[in-house]
Amino acid sequence: MAKKEFKAESKRLLEMMINSIYTHREIFLRELISNASDAIDKIYYKALTDENLVFNKEDYYIKVSADKANRTLTITDSGIGMTQEELENNLGVIAKSGSLAFKGENEAKDGHNIIGQFGVGFYSAFMVADMVTVTTKALGSDQAFKWESTGTDGYTIEPCEKDSVGTEIVLKIKANTEEDQYDECLEEYRLKAIIKKYSDFIRYPIKMDIKGQRPKEDAENEFEEYVEEQTVNSMVPIWRKNKDELTDEDYNNFYAEKRYGFDKPLKHIHIKADGAVVYNAILFIPENTPFDYYTKEFEKGLELYSNGVLIMEKCGDLIPDYFSFVKGMVDSEDLSLNISREMLQHDRQLTMIAKNIKNKIKSALQSMLKDEREKYEKFYSAFGRQLKFGVYNDYGTHKDVLQDLLMFYSSTEKKLVTLDEYVSRMPEDQKYIYYAAGESTQRIEKLPQTEMVADKGYEILYFTDDVDEFAIKMLMTYKEKEFKSVSSGDLGIEPDAEDKPSEAEEGENKELFESMSSILAGRVKSVRASKRLKSHPVCLTAEGELTIEMEKILKAMPNGQDVKADKVLEININHDVFKSLKEAYKGDQEKLALYTNLLYNQALLIEGLTISDPVEFTNDICKIMV
C-alpha cells in the first residue's frame, strides 16, 4: 500500500517538534488524553439532539496501559472515533492553510512556540514514539481503520478489525539514548503522576491497570501480586473545590489542560457565587496576545457548563467585547442542559452571570493595577489596545467601566501613567489634559508642537496606538478635564509677554501670512503665527475635529477614505527664518514662494506625511544653496 505524504507544512512542523528539546515531553500524554476526552464529549453532544442515542456516563472511559516487554504505551477511549476521511483530515494535516506563515523568523526557529501556538496535540506523540498506530471505529460506522506512521515520512491508512466504537492509539516508545530515558513513559508510577498532574479534572475516568501486592489467603507471610483496574484521576472539577485547597500551580495546570492558551496566565479569578444566581467560574487573564487576537477570526467566549457538564465551548454572551481576552469557564446549576444558542441570549440567569463576571474582571484588573503594577503593564501591553477599542465602540457606552484602566506614556514620567495619576498631578493653572499623537514615543518626543506645553512644565500623554485619539474623542473628559491635542488651535496657554507681537507687527504679519496662504492654496487652510513653537521654525496643525494623525490612520485603512484634516501652517515669528520671510515678502515674491514651499514641505516631513513632489523639494533646497 502506498504511503501518503504529510502535507508540506505538517512535515516541517513535525521535524521541528521531534528535534526540538522539549522540556515538557511528558505533555504528550495530556494531549492524547484531552483528545480522548473530547471524543467522548462529542458523543455526549450528539446524544443531546439525537433521540436514538443514549449517553450512559458509566460506559465512557479512557484507558492507559503500558507493556514494557514490547515497549508500547496504549491509550484507548470509547469516544466517537474517526471515519477514514476524518483520519485523513485530522491526522494528515497539522497547521491549517498558511497558518505557519504569519510567524516571525525567530519564533519559527523555536519549535516550542510553534507547538504552543497550534497545539499540535496528537503529533506530540512522536516526541516519545518511533511509530504511532491509531485504530479507530467511528460511531455509526461498521468499518474500522488503521492509521500508522513512523513520523516525518508519511502515513498509511487501511481497513482493519475493531469491535467497539472508539479509538486506540499505540505508541512504540523510542529506545533510550544517553540523554533521554524514554523508558519513563512505560513506568506505572510516572504515568500515574503525569495523569494526576495534567489530567486530574478530566470528567471521564482515566483507568490504569495498577499492580499491587497482597497477603496470600491460604499462606502466612506470603504475598502475591495482583493487577487491579483503578481510576487514576479525581474527576472532581477544580471549580468545585475550595479556593484554599488550590495552589497557583493547580490553576495554571488547569489553564494548560484546557488549552485556554499556551502561556501562563497572569491572573486567575475564581468565583463562587451563591446569591441571586448560583454559579462557579474560573477566569484567566492571559499573559500573551493570542496570534489571531486582533483579527476577525478571533472568537471570544467562555466555556459554559450546566452542573458540571459542558454545554457550550465558547459562550460569547458571557463576556463583553472589551474583555474578550479573558479565558475560562462558568458552571451554573440554574441553566438547562439543552438550551440553544438563541435562547441563551435571552436567558435572565446568563445575563446576570455576565454582568457579575464583568464587574469581577474589572475589579481584578483594578487591583492588579493598584498592587501589581508591573504585571498590569504586562497585561496592558498585550490587551490595552482592546480596552481602548472598548472605550471607542458603541458610541462610548462603556467608557465609565474602562477609563480608569487606561494608561498612556507620559512625557514627564517617562513611563505609562493612568489618567487619574495625570489629573492628580495637574498644576492649578493647567486647564487641559494634553496629548500628542504620533507613530512612536521617540517621534513624538521631537514634535515641535509639544514645545510650548512642555516648556510650561505640563505633562503630555503620548498617543502611539492608532485607536488612541479616537477613544479619547469618545471619552471627551476625564474628571471634568477636557483632553487637548498639543496641535489643536487654542492650547489654553497664554504666551509670555515678550513673545507677543505688538499690534502693528500683527497687522504687518497678517498680510505676509495671507500671501503665504495663497501660495499654498488648496494645501493648507491658513498660515498663521504659532502660539506653541519655541525653538522650531514651523509646524502643521489641524483645525476642527479631524487631526492630522487621524487623517493618516483613516487613510491607512484597507478601504480608507481620502479624508483630509483642515491643515494650518504655523510659523514661529520669533525664529530667524521669519525675518527672512519678511524680507522676501518686501522685495522678492519668487523667494517668498520658494521659502513658503520649503517650510510647508518640512512641516509635512515632521508630521510623517509624504511630500507630493520630492524632486521639486530637493531642487528647492539646492536653489538656496547656490
Which spans of this chain sit near ligand ADP (rule: CB under 6 A)?
31, 35-36, 39, 77, 79-82, 90-91, 119-122, 167
Nearer Cβ to ligand ADP (90/99): 90
Which string of DSSP letters, residue by residue, matches 260-287? S-SS--SEEEEEEEESSSEEEEEEEE-S
Nearer Cβ to ligand ADP (292/496): 292
Nearer Cβ to ligand ADP (166/320): 166
Q: How far is the CB of 131 from ligand ADP (least distance, A)?
A: 17
Residue 620 to residues 14, 522, 613, Cα–Cα distance (Å) = 59, 20, 11
Nearer Cβ to ligand ADP (120/594): 120
Q: How far is the CB of 82 from ligand ADP (least distance, A)?
A: 5
Nearer Cβ to ligand ADP (91/493): 91
> Which of 288, 478, 278 minimizes the C-alpha distance to 380?
288
Residue 508's contacts (CB-CB under 8 Å, 6 or more residues apart) are 582
Q: How far is the CB of 23 from ligand ADP (least distance, A)?
A: 20
Q: How far is the CB of 605 from ligand ADP (least distance, A)?
A: 50
Nearer Cβ to ligand ADP (139/577): 139
Residue 473 to residues 111, 394, 438, Cα–Cα distance (Å) = 44, 13, 16
Q: How far is the CB of 86 from ligand ADP (least distance, A)?
A: 6
Contact 434, 462 (CB under 8 A): no
CB atoms < 10 A from the CB of 226, how many?
10
Q: How far is the CB of 450 from ligand ADP (least distance, A)?
A: 49
CB atoms < 10 A from the CB of 104, how many?
8
Residue 602's contacts (CB-CB under 8 Å, 6 or more residues apart) are 537, 538
Query: 3-state DSSP call for residue 146?
Result: strand
Nearer Cβ to ligand ADP (79/290): 79
**Through-space distance between the first and last CA atoms of the chain, rounded to whole angstroms:** 82
Which string of DSSP letters, residue by residue, matches 325-394? T-EEEEEETTS-TT--HHHHHT-HHHHHHHHHHHHHHHHHHHHHHHH-HHHHHHHHHHHHHHHHHHHHTG
Q: How far is the CB of 141 from ligand ADP (least distance, A)?
A: 12
Nearest residue to ligand ADP, scored by beta-carbon proximity: 121
Nearer Cβ to ligand ADP (140/614): 140
Q: How far is the CB of 114 from ligand ADP (least distance, A)?
A: 13
d(CA 331, CA 349) in angstroms, rounded, equals 12
